[in-house]
Structure 1
Amino acid sequence: MKTQISDTSNTENLHELMMALDSVRQTLKQQISYVQDQTANTQGQSANCTPSHASALGQLCIIFGLSSFERDILVLCAGMELDANLPLLCAEAQSDPQRPYPTFSLALAMFATKHWSAITPSSPLRRWRLIEVGPGTVLTLSPLRIDERLLHYLMGEQCLDSRLAGLVKPLTLTDSPIRCQTIHQELTAQMIAIWQQSSHITPPIQLCHGDRFSKWEMVAAAAAQLNRKLYRLSLAALPTAPDDLNTLACLWEREALLEQAMLLLDCEEGTDPSREQAIVHLLESLHTPVVIISRDRLPWQQASLITFEVPPLSFDEQRSIWQHILRSNESMDAQVNSQIEELVCQFNLSVSSIQSAYATALSQQRNHAMDPETALWNACRVQARPRLDDLAQRITSRANWNQLVLPQSQKQILRETIAHVRQRAQVYERWGFSTVGSRGLGISALFAGVSGTGKTMAAEVIAQELQLDLYRIDLSAVISKYIGETEKNLRRIFDAAETGGAILLFDEADALFGKRSDVKDSHDRHANVEVSYLLQRIEAYRGLAILTTNLKEAIDQAFMRRIRFVVRFPFPDAQQRREIWQQIFPPQMAHTLDLKEDSKKLARLNVSGGNIRSIALNAAFLAAENGEPLNMKHLLKATQNEYIKLERTLTAAEVEEWEAQ
């Protein structure tokens, strides 16, 4: 049922209301005469003004199923706000100057169509809070007042209830000429069909996965086609106290009926146990259209949900959107058109994110004289960061190939890894390998070696070469003792990373990725499930996933076969250690040492690259504190401290050629 209030002028609404009020006023005067004459022959009659269905009063009666008696009570209460003489008439009709207001007792006495059920809590007047019963010791003698929202409605004014204004916000459809190119039209049509087919109770709909703004657009498009207003309720604004929830449910359902509105409950930020029951309570209380959006499916058996999974835009759709946007800028279009497929292959962005990336790139190009290709690539990286920044540590990549001291065979594997990432668009999309199946398309690498041998630096070099963000994930922090929580944590990380195809560096892979355990109990079985889930996500991940381990032998061979690249980081020999020492000092400090000779002496220290960096840095602080240029004396002291930390003894052979300075 659709309201016709919008087709009726405020003047007509006021005219209808005044006619009904005049009839009630005449009945009230008859009641006064009856009280004064004490004769039953002048018993008041029901107001004989029947409002048209097109008027606000007529619509109100239809929407809430008001009887003639209930309508007359509502008009009587409205009259208190519109007629300054009505309080005096009410007091006179009740023979009590202390009661200049309507009461149920007065209504029962003056209207012939009276029925007791109209004053019960389940009646439309009280169930929908159309009137308020004021304080008093006797129900029938307590003052009655029309709800403010209803008064404005009767006057032809649509305004959101003030008690809802701080909780729900209007959500409108943005003007986007490229929306019709997305795959979300079909889901929007399915939602519309569900609401159109529902006669009384409308089941809540859940949209999970996908990005928030695409889901907003879908629901807004559906609301627009149904000629409904859409309001958004954020999870943070949802009350948890039962009384507050009941009030919210009642006020919102009334608002939905009055304004033909629908509600979007935004749970994109995730839920917690304290709010899950509040959500279920609200969904079970409402019988008007509600859509709940969330990143993950919410498997609440208490609430009956119709769930749709919102897929991301396909490769072709994203490419089409980029082409549409770039056509408006001929200069940029000509320069970056060949880059579109690489952008789409690397960054899995929504319509709104693509538009934001384009606007950011334009700003960077104008304000910083940046070339269009770099500006657009960096803008896409920025769009992809927010969700992952909350889940993992972003590492700023500054390392280059010259700083990475590794045998050439290992460096060659790293270069092949980079080539696989760089050529994904060519192999997967242009040559069609992605159509064969999604399994195995993810690019993974295992870096094995003791701590300090350059595993993290190698990941930085790859990120720097590919101009991608690098995120470190501590697997020991991801693993949970609670069944199902580890998969949930991993899912959040991979889902967030999919947007930008970031490089994921999983530290301490041995914590989860060790030898497959024999299944002796449910915990062993679930540990294997966690490992299988991680491997599945790595194989399907559109970016590069790197696992690090201090002990390659700890990795099950069954899992090793599913990892594309394996790089062993050996403990550096004397020549490699010398190269590391020669590169560890910044140019402005290198002149204080004779790196050609001193690096040969320093290379005798049997330590890894990580320890070398620690010694060099600590020596610099010692020199700075003493107000002296960095020299071998400071390096010797820093080395002694480092060996204490390693619980090792500094041998004479390691320092026999060092000269005291």
Structure 2
Amino acid sequence: MYNSNHFEDWYESNRNYFLAVINQLHTVIQSYINQLENNSKIEPNNPNQDIPELIKLKAVMLQPPALEQLCQRFKLSEFERSILVFCAAIEIDLRFSELCVEVHSGNSQYHPTFGLALSALPNAHWSALAPDGALRYWKLIDLGSGSTLTSTSLHIDERILHYLIGVKTIDSLLTEITELPSYTQRLIPSHQCLADTIKALWELNSFQNSLPIIQLCGSEMEDKTDIAQAVCQHFNLQVNLLNCHRIPLKPNELETFIRRLERECILEGRALLLICEDIDRSDKLQLASLNQLLEELECFAIVTTLFPLQGIKRQMIRFDVPKPLPQEQLITWETSVDELKIQLHEQEKYIPDSNKLLQDLQELTSQFQLSTSMIRRACAAAVGQLTMPSTPSLKQALWQSCRVQARPGLDELAERIESKLSWEDLVLPPLQKGILKEISAHVRQKAKVYEKWGFASKSRRGLGITALFSGPSGTGKTLAAGVLANELNLDLYKIELSAVVSKYIGETEKNLQQIFNAAESGGVILLFDEADSIFGKRSEVKDSKDRNANLEVSYLLQRMESYPGMAILTTNLQSNLDPAFMRRLRFVTQFSLPDAAHRAEIWRRIFPPDTPTEGLNFERLAQLNAPGGNIRIIALNSAFMAADVEEPVQMKHILKATQTEYEKLGKSLTSIEIAGWI
């Protein structure tokens, strides 16, 4: 509301103006009392006339006095204005309490009444105190005690009193509301186009006093907030942010809250940004409260949601907020890195030449689908990394910052698996290993093939990289996923299907959508372990359960095709997967049980270099017909046995660990498998 550079001058002028208005009203009330005492004809004077003193004070103010702004915004009549000033004067000028006692014949009535106002003030009208009149509807005044309406004492609301005096404060009922700072960032073109459309819509409807509520749908909260702030700034509106969970649920509290909320927006010239990102659609009470709030709101209001709100009676105009296009991301990267380069130059850090830097930024754009605010944060975080003693390159610092930016949404939904494994740790036949390296090449060369060579210009669907790893348990499927993640410098997230699949209709799709939306930032590999439990074949519809199960599979088919990142599915039974998934998979590789030669190689690599060993015969150990997963467990258990007796790992320790593992699995250990071990 106020220009900070001139606030003190305005505050002083506003205070003097309001005191002059109060003095003018005092003269009117005193004149009324004198006429009563003299039994003269009551002819109320007008306290709303602009006397020379008021005209002079207003002339030097950069903005109108608070009283004038309030009267204009709430469309108060002259009589309503006088009542409001009278109620305020009681709080700050002791003379008015004395006048009230005098006019009420000394009956200790220290506050004005409606009856007094009707008699003493000009242009009186009964509707001023009607429940739907501005004074009571907007709760500018409160009714006190009294046997009749005309004898009821009138009190000014504390928030309104502070406003009239010029004190910046907030309504005591609205402490959960956050005032957002003025928007300063420049919108990307696609978002600017969206903001311009909303501006035109509000400008068109503002003349008709029927402002539509705008609903912004999308996964990037900050992008939606930026658009809302840019729109509101066009109308010189500050933004009040409210989370839907802060809306009262009790009807009487809700009614007061809505009125005070709307009053605050009108009073300060603000718009409401209502955050409904994580609203519980099954909570009927919360939806009912939200419905009532949206029905009654008549101010500038924007609602942000992940998905379109259902069950809302009031019509809202919906806009989908898209993620920045690759070219828009690249422009944001270039702008942000230009600012970063200034700091690097001051620190005398190496800065790649323009062509190399552009190539690096194109790779970042291809791999990470970040919002504009996430890109700016990634650049800011990279500065901190570049000041560390073991300084990475600019590309490495930016890449790591992007990974961190992409994590928060998924950390709450899936398990992040840290992997330090390399190709050397992976023992597979040449065919399978070759397919894994081909997958790695597809991820690394996304920028060149999709953007530079133009494959993405045809369609942005089907650009994700999906792979199926099938085979018995323990054959290295998860291990291979870890190797790929480490090789590509990406995070690996394992999706716990037990937390995803729900017996409630629609919940499984909702949980999967949250995961895919969070993963679309691109800095992760999604690992669906035992994927056949959710990617299974669709069946003949015999009942509602079959229908819902088929809907889940159909949703997954669509979502996998539109997902731009990398997803790995693992299964022990490939035949259980729906054939439609197989058509959408870019890579399929079979992991089989290792033969003797591969088992020997696994044994050679299974012990870390710092593990003391003695007399291990890897060819004999390879006789053990076990997959790599079981070999790892046996090696680890044997190391604990050897450490406990302070000996290096020997064949006897491995034998004992093997017997324990087979006992756990319920299998018999044959003499052929352990022949010659000891």
Q: Show CA shifts across 1:404-457 (max 9, x none).
A: 111111111111111111111111111111111123322111100111110000
Q: Indicate the residue corresponding to 1:635 in structure 2.
A: 654
SS in 1 for 2:584: coil
What residue identity is the alignment partner of 2:198? M
Aligned match for 1:616, one of 621, 632, 635 = 635
Aligned match for 2:132, one of 118, 122, 129 = 122
Give aligned-pair identity as a percent: 45
Further displaced range: 106-115 or 339-348: 106-115
What residue identity is the alignment partner of 2:376? Q
What residue identity is the alignment partner of 1:74? L
Distance in 2 separating the partners of 1:516 and 1:593: 54
Q: Indicate the residue corresponding to 2:276 in structure 1.
A: 267
Q: Indicate the residue corresponding to 1:92 in structure 2.
A: 102
Q: Indicate the residue corresponding to 2:48 in structure 1.
A: 49
Does the aligned pair in 2 maintain the 1:476–1:511 contact within 8 Å?
no
Q: Show CA shifts across 1:11-61 (max 9, x none).
A: 654555445434432343344346545x3x343625343358954434433
Further displaced range: 401-410 or 575-584: 575-584
Distance in 2 separating the partners of 1:190 and 1:462: 44
Further displaced range: 488-497 or 17-26: 17-26
Does the aligned pair in 2 maintain the 1:69–1:115 contact within 8 Å?
yes
Does the aligned pair in 1 maintain the 2:36–2:42 contact within 8 Å?
no
Q: Show CA shifts across 1:612-645 (max 9, x none).
A: 1122222333333444443333333322222222
Q: Indicate the residue corresponding to 1:187 in structure 2.
A: 194
Does the aligned pair in 1 maintain the 2:171–2:264 contact within 8 Å?
no
Distance 1:116 1:558, change over 3 A: closer
Does the aligned pair in 2 maintain the 1:643–1:650 contact within 8 Å?
yes
Does the aligned pair in 2 maintain the 1:326–1:332 contact within 8 Å?
no
TM-score (norm 2): 0.89
Q: Indicate the residue corresponding to 2:210 in structure 1.
A: 201
Does the aligned pair in 1 maintain the 2:210–2:298 contact within 8 Å?
yes
Aligned match for 1:343, one of 364, 368, 376 = 364
Distance 1:466 1:47, change over 3 A: same
Distance 1:350 1:158, change over 3 A: farther
What residue identity is the alignment partner of 1:342? E
Deviation at 1:287, TM superposition (A): 0.5
Deviation at 1:295, TM superposition (A): 2.3
Does the aligned pair in 2 maintain the 1:229–1:260 contact within 8 Å?
yes
Distance in 1 separating the partners of 2:182 and 2:351: 28
Q: Indicate the residue corresponding to 1:245 in structure 2.
A: 254
Is 1:560 the equivalent of 2:582?
yes
Further displaced range: 41-50 or 469-478: 41-50
Q: Show CA shifts across 1:237-274 (max 9, x none).
A: 43333333322211121122222110111233454525
Aligned match for 2:153, one of 99, 122, 143 = 143
Deviation at 1:3, TM superposition (A): 12
Q: CA RMSD in A?
A: 2.7
Distance in 2 separating the partners of 1:50 and 1:316: 61
Deviation at 1:306, TM superposition (A): 1.0
Is 1:648 the equivalent of 2:648?
no
Alignment of 1:252-331 (within 5 A): 252-271=261-280, 273=283, 275-328=286-339, 329=341, 331=350
Does the aligned pair in 1 maintain the 2:183–2:230 contact within 8 Å?
no
Distance in 1 separating the partners of 2:112 and 2:29: 10
Distance in 1 separating the partners of 2:508 and 2:526: 17
SS in 2 for 1:161: coil
SS in 2 for 1:232: strand
Alignment of 1:303-452 (within 5 A): 303-328=314-339, 329=341, 331-334=350-353, 336-367=357-388, 368-452=390-474
SS in 1 for 2:407: helix
Does the aligned pair in 1 maintain the 2:456–2:463 contact within 8 Å?
yes
TM-score (norm 1): 0.92
What residue identity is the alignment partner of 2:489? Q
Does the aligned pair in 2 maintain the 1:103–1:143 contact within 8 Å?
yes
Distance 1:624 1:140, change over 3 A: farther
Does the aligned pair in 1 maintain the 2:477–2:570 contact within 8 Å?
yes
Deviation at 1:158, TM superposition (A): 6.0
Distance 1:332 1:129, change over 3 A: same
Aligned match for 1:81, one of 91, 109, 120 = 91
Is 1:593 the equivalent of 2:593?
no
Alignment of 1:528-543 (within 5 A): 528-543=550-565
Distance in 2 separating the partners of 1:453 and 1:506: 16
Q: Indicate the residue corresponding to 1:108 in structure 2.
A: 118
Distance in 1 separating the partners of 2:183 and 2:129: 45
Distance in 2 separating the partners of 1:181 and 1:333: 26
Does the aligned pair in 2 maintain the 1:270–1:295 contact within 8 Å?
no
Does the aligned pair in 2 maintain the 1:16–1:57 contact within 8 Å?
no
SS in 2 for 1:102: coil
Further displaced range: 24-33 or 511-520: 24-33
Distance in 2 separating the partners of 1:43 and 1:354: 72
Distance 1:114 1:243, change over 3 A: same
What residue identity is the alignment partner of 1:563? L
Say how many residue pairs are matched.
650
Distance in 1 separating the partners of 2:462 and 2:135: 63
Further displaced range: 43-52 or 447-456: 43-52
Q: Indicate the residue corresponding to 1:461 in structure 2.
A: 483
Distance 1:282 1:332, change over 3 A: farther
What residue identity is the alignment partner of 1:283? L
Deviation at 1:461, TM superposition (A): 0.9
Distance in 2 separating the partners of 1:593 and 1:303: 77
What residue identity is the alignment partner of 1:182? P
What residue identity is the alignment partner of 2:137? R
Distance in 2 separating the partners of 1:418 and 1:393: 22
Does the aligned pair in 2 maintain the 1:204–1:304 contact within 8 Å?
yes
Q: Show CA shifts across 1:360-397 (max 9, x none).
A: 22221221311222111111111111111111111111
Deviation at 1:139, TM superposition (A): 4.6
Aligned match for 1:575, one of 597, 604, 624 = 597
Does the aligned pair in 2 maintain the 1:3–1:260 contact within 8 Å?
no
Q: Indicate the residue corresponding to 1:229 in structure 2.
A: 238
Does the aligned pair in 2 maintain the 1:28–1:44 contact within 8 Å?
no
Does the aligned pair in 2 maintain the 1:399–1:464 contact within 8 Å?
yes
Further displaced range: 53-62 or 231-240: 53-62
Is 1:551 the equivalent of 2:573?
yes
Deviation at 1:130, TM superposition (A): 0.8
